[in-house]
Structure 1
Amino acid sequence: MTKKTILPTGLQHKARKRFGQNFLHDYGVISSIVRAIGPRESDNLVEIGPGKGAITALLLEQCPNLNVIELDRDLVPILLAQFVKYPGFKIHQIDALKFDFASLATTDNPLRVVGNLPYNISTPLIFHLLSFHQRIKDMHFMLQKEVVERLAAQPGDKAYGRLSVMTQYYCDVENLFLVPPECFDPAPKVDSAIVRLTPHTNIPCPTKDIDILHKVVNVAFQQRRKTLRNALKGIVTSEQCEQLGIDASVRPEMLSLRDYVAIADFAVDQND
């Protein structure tokens, strides 16, 4: 039998579709998520989309200084009332896509970011967070299962694509566990999963120009059904791919992150 989080009378809130809200209520899953995060009192913890505070409550028990980012202004008084006894609890009522996460980080205490991310903005939000990778220690997210599969996919996998390559450029990716629809209210039509992203202290295969790498990867996967020689026409030729030790007759999903960095760096050198 699952245990649900219950809000005090007068503090009920109906999930809003426009915010992509699905409130987690399964106490067992909530506990498993918090155990995976392993919050400590000294952590610089940030929660995106606390909703009704199901995960927030357990986080605050172990880390009483917590910043949360919540777009829905109607949830702000609910959260403030629920966690009034925690003076270190702070709400930023703003769109996470527009939030400057660097403003919360310090050199000695990088961010630990957690959240049940709305499915409709999960990919752009992850790219936004990756731009702050030097200020982040780790990230734990609840996402649509298919998104987590894309994040963790390897070359040759059907799910492998732009999100896989660029996330793995910055982070180690761990697909932790599944969360079924019945753990939410309202229940989504898809399975969810928990993922851990840990930014590399030193990027394993750094590129000469990150913007060029973004361009190469984006162009390649926009035409993922084409062979590499056709998908990257105008960026690199078949002969140039051969010089790099890359087979231009394969599709983009067969190339490793290191291959894409090699192509991007070659393009940079050609333009110098």
Structure 2
Amino acid sequence: MNSRVHQGHFARKRFGQNFLHDDSVITNIVAAIQPKKDQALVEIGPGLAALTMPVSEYIDHLTVIEIDRDLAARLLENPFLKNKLTVIEQDAMTVNFYDLSAKMQQPLRVFGNLPYNISTPLMFHLFQYTTAISDMHFMLQKEVVNRLVAAPNSKAYGRLSVMAQYYCQIIPVLEVPPTAFKPAPKVDSAVVKLIPHKNPPYLVNDIKSLSRITTAAFNQRRKTIRNSLSQLFTVEQLSELGIDLDLRAENLTVQQYCQLANAYSNMSA
């Protein structure tokens, strides 16, 4: 049997589909999510309902976002699920989660086994809506989870680390081997919980400034800050902010990036 076929569905490479089938892993993920009735639960990429089914046993209604029309149709035909689901046939990258939260009249609890090819851009998309989200549980490539939680002075620390830690508290939940999926990916996976900060630890006046500075710094991470940020700050300005000019992007803390962002937005005002 073709390794990409699971439950009669051919896993589509363009959607990055790898279907979870390990019962003990599924049980642990559902236990981590702790779904409860009357919560606004939203699943991204329900696929063959590996998480959808067990989560739905605890609740009366679940909203799912599925880009694959065949899978969306299967979910709506499922006798156990069809009366519990609202299926949004759409790319999650185009969903307005503020509107979704307003419709459900409460903050969202978002979860999913995210396709690895879109997991990072999708998280950046979700970060725009953190005031409408109470928590997120995602299955990701283990390397991405390592980047989310990375501290300064490590190779894994990058733009994703800074932006994610600015927006959220990040808690690794469990590691998942390739054998838990069909087809088995070539990488290890992990589940992570992200809880948006109600009060961010560092205030940033203009998030676009933080985004611009982290992009400039980490796009040239081998260069010193003096060089990588030379289009945005003079040497004198960096020195006045107490930034060591010989440090590289990975040596600056989240707090220092927020400080730079505020200085930049004040200069640009």
Give the shorter-chain TM-score range.
over 0.9
Q: In structure 1, which of residues 13, 28, 33 is the aligned counterpart of residue 29 of structure 2?
A: 33
Q: Find the counterpart in structure 1 of residue 266 from structure 2.
A: 269
Separation in 2, partners of 1:40, 1:202: 25
Measured after TM superposition, the shift of residue 83 of structure 1 is: 4.5
Distance, in Å, in 1 between the alignment partners of 2:213 and 2:74 is 45
Distance 2:26 2:124 in 1: 25
Deviation of 1:84 (Å): 4.4
Match of 2:63 among 53, 64, 67: 67
Matched AA of 2:243 = I
**2:218 equivalent among 218, 221, 232:** 221
Structure 1 equivalent of residue 228 of structure 2: 231
Cα contact 1:20–1:120 (8 A) shared by 2: yes
Task: Check whether the contact 1:47–1:115 (CA below 8 A) recurs between aligned residues.
Answer: yes
- Relative contact order, CA 8 A, sep 6+: which one is greater? 2
Pairwise CA RMSD: 1.4
How far 1:34 sits from its partner (Å)? 0.5
* Residue correspondence of structure 1 range 65-214 to structure 2 within 5 A: 65-84=61-80, 87-106=83-102, 109-214=106-211
More displaced stretch, 106-115 vs 42-51: 106-115
Q: What percent identity do the matched residue pairs reach? A: 51
Contact 2:18-2:181 within 8 A present in 1 as well: yes
How far apart, CA to CA, are the structure 2 residues paired with 1:83 and 1:215?
48
Task: Give the superposition deviation at 1:135.
Answer: 0.2
Q: For 1:271 and 1:121, how far apart are their aligned partners in 2?
A: 32
1:17 counterpart residue number:
13
Where 1:39 maps in the other structure, the secondary structure is coil
Unaligned runs of 5+ in 1: 1-5
In structure 2, distance between residues paired with 1:52 and 1:268 = 46
SS at match of 2:117: helix
Structure 2: which 5+ runs fail to align?
A: 1-5
Report runs of 4+ in structure 1 exceeding 6 Å deviation. Answer: none
Q: Is the 8 A contact 1:83 1:89 kept in 2?
A: no
1:56 counterpart = 2:56: no
2: distance between equivalents of 1:201 and 1:54? Answer: 31
Contact in 2 for aligned 1:64/1:86 (Cα 8 Å): no
Q: TM-score, normalised by structure 1?
A: 0.93
- From 216, 237, 240, the equivalent of 1:240 is 237
**How far apart are the structure 1 equivalents of 2:81 and 2:28?**
24
**Is the Cα–Cα contact under 8 Å of residues 154 and 160 in structure 1 kept in the other structure?**
yes
CA separation of 1:85/1:57 partners in 2, compared to 1, >3 Å: closer, same or farther? closer
**Is contact 1:175-1:193 (8 Å) kept?**
yes
CA distance, structure 1, for counterparts of residue 173 and residue 242 of structure 2? 34
